Amino acid sequence: TMLTSCADDRTFEERNIPRPETSDDIGDCVVYKAPVTNYKVIYGKEADGLVTCIPKGRWGSVSWYLNADRNVNKLEYNDSPLVIDTRIKDLLLKSGEIDEVMATHIAHLFIRDPLSAYKDRIEVDDTQSDDHFETIQSTNWQTVRFKPPPIQTPDTPYIGWRVEFRPLEVQLTDEENAAFSVVVVLIAKAIRFFGLRLYMPISKVDENMQNSEKRDAATQEKFWWRDSIRVEKEKKEQEGGKGEGEEKEEEEWRKMSVDEIMNGNKEKGVKGLMD
């Protein structure tokens, strides 16, 4: 059987980088062979049959956190096996311009061969074109994609660094698609404005993704979520007077329903995203 899946992508400007003059919202369709199952999207279970030696296929949940702020993104959160091309990583590190976290990310992307190549784009000047890079970058369909700016020319508008949010499924009506798009934008802005701490080990993200693909997951499944997504302020007494506020980050997760994640649960002492 042939199964066609569509993804509704939303691209967000990366934090601390000037806002681009234009936005880049991309939708893509992927066609591939897969059995009819109770799993309803192109990630995870459906992608497993397409890969033989790499833990995740080109379609899958994000494999590697890039945030260099170790107060927020701890190294141990990247706890899932990651296959990389060590030659690519060594080359990037020797340049002295790319840190180890980003070099590891790029080296992971380049473990795969390009899916397509155009006769007139094989021999190009890489200082003037990013076609060779995008041939690999744009054929890794993970739930989040970090997008560097395209090569600028005097005739093109400025486009900065972007983060593409990719797991949304295309809905049946325009109204539903618009609603999801607006909510995702609002949530992204709220995360940045309030400085919410949503990081968890990648292994838990993988488990969440697998559960999310099941039938009726939004009402029947539970997902790993941080007990507290806000940084609590603690006051401690110091010698000679009151101490300054000190941030304390909870390092505990539990499985919650989508309702609890969004709206909280007073009995369990859980505050939701909407609280």
pLDDT for 188-199, tens place per residue?
Answer: 888 888 888 889
The per-residue pLDDT for 11 is 56
Residue whose pair of structure tokens reads 């967000």 in the numeric block = 12
Contact (CB, 8 A) for 110 and 88:
yes
Distance CA 50, CA 34 (A): 9
Segments in the chain forming alpha helices (H):
45-48, 86-95, 100-109, 131-137, 174-194, 202-212, 217-220, 258-263
Query: Who's near 225: CB < 8 A, 6+ residues apart?
Result: 200, 253, 254, 255, 256, 260, 261
In sequence order, the 6+-apart residues with CB closer than 8 A to the CB of 75 are: none
pLDDT of residue 86: 94
| Residue among 42, 81, 36, 44 nearest 208 (CA) | 44
pTM above 0.95, yes or no: no
Question: What is the rounded CA–CA span in Å between residue 265 and residue 221?
Answer: 16
pLDDT of residue 38: 56
193-197, 228-232, 240-244: least confident range: 240-244
| 225 — pLDDT class (breaks 50, 70, 90) | very high
pLDDT on residue 256: 94
pLDDT of res. 150: 85
